[in-house]
Amino acid sequence: MKDVFDYLEEEDLLRNLPEALPQMEDETAAKRIEKMALERLQAETKQQKKWQRRRILIAAVCCLVAVGAFARKPIAAYFQRILHYLPGVGVYINDTDAEIYEVQIDNPVQEKDGVRVELKGFYCENNMLKGDFVFTGEGLPTEKNGKDKIIDELSEKYEVTYYYGEKSRVIWFSGCGWHTSNEGKVLQYTPHCSERLYLKDGCYDYAFSIKGFDKKIHLKVVKAKTTENPKDLGYSVTKNKTSVVANADVDGNAITVEYYLIPSAEVAQAMEDYYQTGIILCPYRFAPLEDYAYIQNAAGERMRGHLESLENGGMYTLKGTEKDFPLTLHHSAYTGTDREKQEVEIPLTEGAELPQVKFHYGTVEFLSAMQEDVIWEDEDSERTEEATKVTVRYKTVPAKGIRKMYAANLRYLKEDDFGVERDLEQTNEFLIQERSVYLPREKREKLTFSLENPSYWVGGSYDVVIEKPRSKK
């Protein structure tokens, strides 16, 4: 672990490591959870270094999925970084007594000199305030020194200061996104906030000031009115310890439907693994995307409209009135994962028998393994190497039962490769996965991989009936 601590700045350590482990009766469990948290930090740091020195090409399946989580156990929230967020509320769960807090922002939009900045998607994850500063407008600059320099220029030009109590500091951005035109004009700049909140008893005020803008933006954390009971949040359906909750509002001829997820531990783990390892979140039976989640009116007709992704669900904006109620939200089953992993030795000689690997909820069958001499090119540095490309194809056959495994990650165990490519192929019944590894040129008889993070559907779709819209305040 020494190399991890050396790599991180002191401020980053304070952000990522717990100052003290919450009290737990089971001391063994507490130590295991702390160990998991530190291992994850180490894995993230190694991955950052790895991406700096080589390019990994990934062909991903894009699916309409609800991302985020809500958990009752504060220990799970504290160490596994499960998002505590409800659409339209934004909540904080205290690590000790599970109190819930709401984030309120006064005047989240400012405009000056042709630039508009808006605070969007702010919520509290444990004691961390997270959200986006979205800059748009004709007043944004044009790239002059290349894309690598424009972000530094924007970060300096629109520096954000964070105020709490009598103290203040320049905000730390955990990352950013940006869009430019073909001519290099910046169309949108979105730095991501990740700042620590110093919460104590009662309600507290915080503020941001943005360089170039006149007024501070004030933020308040107050005790929320929501509860942990799904029935108090909206209409809900629960299957296999996972709940989908939905509610609706009507304004004239427009209906807004929000839905969000309260996951089981295995579904929450899948959401966590999705960001860490890129597990595949797609249906076992590959239905069209529009069948994955949709709204029906009282006549059974599908309602068309705009869908916006929320942190742990989605928000539909539809044309309709109260006459369309009751509405039904249909959502396909969710994915679960576990930490099960197995090493597998893949023979590369022609005619060799390929292995099958059994997991709890399915069996991975290897279809082919081949190697060929190629020239590997690094698109970032334009470096080339004589290499041997090893390509492995495999599929997953689900076992019988509620939980049906459909995919697993294949990871090459050594770090002597130049690069990795992933690819996917959908059939009527299976997801065919392919992994290519570029290695120093040499004929090999076998390679050892690790199969990890098995993905499985937790059976049963969700049909949430929204009897009537919420009453207007």
pLDDT tens per residue across span 278-328: 787 765 555 677 788 899 999 999 998 888 877 677 889 999 999 999 999
If we measure between CA atoms, which residue out of 215, 220, 219 comes closest to residue 117? Answer: 215
Residue 21 confidence (pLDDT) above 70: no
Average pLDDT over residues 160-180: 85
| Cα 398 off chain centre by | 25
257 confidence band (pLDDT: 50, 70, 90): very high
Query: What pLDDT is attached to residue 13?
Result: 44
Of residues 436 and 45, more confidently modeled:
436
Residue 203 confidence (pLDDT) above 90: no
- Distance, in Å, from the CA atom of 166 to the CA atom of 147, rounded to the nearest integer, reads 37
The sheet carrying 384-398 orders its strands as 57-58, 419-426, 431-440, 384-398, 362-377, 356-359
Least confident of 257-261, 359-363, 410-414, 434-438: 257-261
Least confident of 31-35, 118-122, 127-131, 349-353: 31-35
Least confident of 185-199, 239-253, 355-369: 185-199
What does the pLDDT look like over 122-162, one tens digit per residue?
776 656 778 889 999 999 988 876 666 788 889 899 999 98
pTM value is 0.57
Query: What pLDDT is attached to residue 473?
Result: 47
- Distance, in Å, from the CA atom of 178 to the CA atom of 38, rounded to the nearest integer, reads 31
Share of the chain above pLDDT 90, in %: 37
- Number of helices (H) and strands (E) in the chain: give both, helices first: 6, 29
Average pLDDT over residues 420-448: 90
Of residues 86 and 283, more confidently modeled:
283
Least confident of 46-50, 170-174, 272-276, 285-289: 46-50
Least confident of 14-23, 194-203, 240-249: 14-23
Using an 8 Å Cβ cutoff, are 393 and 368 in contact? yes
Q: What is the DSSP letter of 442?
A: -
Average pLDDT over residues 205-215: 91
Q: What is the mean pLDDT of the chain?
A: 76
In DSSP terms, 405 is beta-bridged to 456
Tokens of 239: 């299957």
The residue with tokens 């994962």 is 337
92 confidence band (pLDDT: 50, 70, 90): very low
Query: What pLDDT is attached to residue 121?
Result: 74
Average pLDDT over residues 152-181: 86
- Distance, in Å, from the CA atom of 402 to the CA atom of 367, rounded to the nearest integer, reads 26
Of residues 179 and 79, more confidently modeled:
179
Residue 464 confidence (pLDDT) above 70: yes
Query: What pLDDT is attached to residue 450?
Result: 95
